[in-house]
Amino acid sequence: MELTKEQRIEMYWMMLLARRLDERAWVLHRQGKIAFHISGIGQEAAQVGAAFALNRGEDWVTPYYRDLALMICLGYTPREFVLSLMGKQGEPSSGGRQMPSHWSLRRANAVSHSAPVATQACHAAGIALAMKMQKKDQVVLTTIGEGSTSQGEWYEAVNWAAVHQLPVIFLVENNQYAISVPQEKQMAVRSSADKACGLGLEGLTVDGTDPYKVYEVVARAAEKARSGNGPTVIEARMYRITPHSSDDDDRTYRSREEVEEHKQRDPILVVRSRLEQEGLLTPEQVEGMEARAREMVDDAVQFATQAPYPNVEEGTYPVYAEEVRHD
């Protein structure tokens, strides 16, 4: 369970690649080349930590819209991401029909979520029940924002998982806001993990800006789930550095000073300087990673720009199921 030096460096690389892709998505939006972007900037550490704690490709994941870094760890490619931003053919979640960032990836056992927040928690509990009934040792990770833990679906899913001791991890990415609504107007408890005790399961809170701490906590929860000892709620605390989405102006509800303060503690900067101080990364290696990320992002944008849009006659598939395809 102990992370190797190579794994710790790889985790930083995944955070960095997701960050540079995410930043480019903002640029594409401001250039008028894509219609919408919802960002995971500031949340990469928790997502990468959680992903590395899974048996990736075997375990199941029902993610939420900010999970670009999580998806990258599951093998989602930069090209696939930009195809989804542009709604182009070959986009693996829906062939260009879904909103961007409503991830799914069949080859990674990652299941798409609906636009109504929290529904993915029910899907996770259902999949976990199937895993238990089939006596498989796969676990399910589902992620959600803290605001969405106010939804009935989340309580239903967590309750059901606790009653049936299902192998599922409910990871809450607490970025302190639900669009414009701060945490204190959303819940009377200090952590959404506190909600777990009322439903009879373990709830833990972890620093979501530290990928290695998140890894440890999620790895323990996964081991517990795999050995038949049921679900865990984990709240990872972080800060949403960007506005809610490309269509939100956060100046109306939070000060620039507050945002700046959190930018100083940006997990990308913190993890990088930690790895440098420990002698695991040299400035040259860091520059090499930056160059590689830039190259991959440029390639993805060029690839997706040249890719064709979906065929019009495919538009209604699979709403009217005459045939069921699994591509």
Ligand X SMILES: Cc1ncc(C[n+]2csc(CCOP(=O)(O)OP(=O)(O)O)c2C)c(N)n1
| Residue 261 to residues 126, 255, 256, Cα–Cα distance (Å) | 40, 10, 9
116 binds ligand X (CB under 6 A): yes
C-alpha distances in Å from residue 166, one per residue of 175, 196, 224:
27, 14, 10
Complex with ligand X: residue 147 or 267, whichever CB lies closer: 147
294 tagged catalytic: no
List the one residue from 60, 76, 177, 215 that touches ligand X (CB under 6 A): 177
Residue 178 CB, shortest distance to ligand X, in Å, is 3
Is 37 within 8 Å of 102 (Cβ atoms)?
no
Angle at 214 between CA 68 and CA 54, to 5 degrees: 65
What is the number of other CB atoms lying within 10 angstroms of the CB of residue 124? 30
Q: Is 226 labeled as catalytic in the residue annotation?
A: no
Of the candidates 253, 254, 274, 317, the residue annotated as catalytic is 253
Contact 32, 85 (CB under 8 A): no
Active site residue 102: no
Q: Smallest distance from the beta carbon of 146 to ligand X, in angstroms? A: 5
Q: Does 170 bind ligand X (CB under 6 A)?
A: no
Could you say which of 145, 167, 203, 208 contacts Mg ion (CB under 5 A)? Answer: 145
Would you give the end-to-end CA distance of the chain in angstroms? Answer: 35
Q: Which of 146, 292, 276, 119 is nearest to 205 (CA)?
A: 146
Sketch the per residue contact string, 243 through 282, with ligand X: x for CB under 6 A, - otherwise.
-x--------------------------------------
Determine if 146 is a binding residue for ligand X (CB under 6 A).
yes
- Pairing of the two strands 181-182 and 177-178: antiparallel
Q: Does 175 bind ligand X (CB under 6 A)?
A: yes
Q: What type of residue sits at position 256?
A: R
- Judged by CB under 5 A, does residue 120 bind Mg ion? no
* Residue from 8, 29, 37, 244 carrying the catalytic annotation: 244
Amino acid in the structure at residue 83: L
Question: Quick check: 75 binds ligand X (CB under 6 A)?
Answer: no
Q: How far is the CB of 183 from Mg ion (least distance, A)?
A: 8
As a dihedral over the C-alpha atoms of residue 134, residue 139, residue 143, residue 146, rounded to 10 degrees, the angle is: 100
From 81-89, 111-119, 277-285, 295-303, give the range in contact with ligand X by CB under 6 A. 111-119
Identified catalytic residue from 29, 66, 113, 240:
240
* Closest listed residue to residue 289, CA positions, set 266, 271, 277: 271
Taking CB under 6 A as the criterion, the residue among 45, 46, 83, 117 binding ligand X is: 117
Quote the least distance from Cβ 160 to ligand X, whole Å. Answer: 19
Q: Is 27 in the site for ligand X (CB under 6 A)?
A: no
Give the pairing type, strands 202-207 and 181-182: unpaired
Q: Which is nearer to Mg ion, 109 or 175 (CB)?
A: 175
CA dist 325 and 104 (Å) reads 16
| Site of tokens 């992903």 | 51
Select the span of 7-15, 142-150, 216-224, 264-272 touching ligand X (CB under 6 A). Answer: 142-150
User: By C-beta, is 62 or 175 nearer to Mg ion?
Assistant: 175
Q: Is 192 in the site for ligand X (CB under 6 A)?
A: no
What 3-state class would DSSP assign to 113? coil
Q: Are 170 and 121 in contact (CB under 8 A)?
A: yes
Give the footprint of Mg ion on this chain (CB under 5 A): 145-147, 175, 178
Give the footprint of ligand X on this chain (CB under 6 A): 66, 115-117, 145-148, 175, 177-179, 240, 244
Catalytic annotation, residues: 240, 244, 253
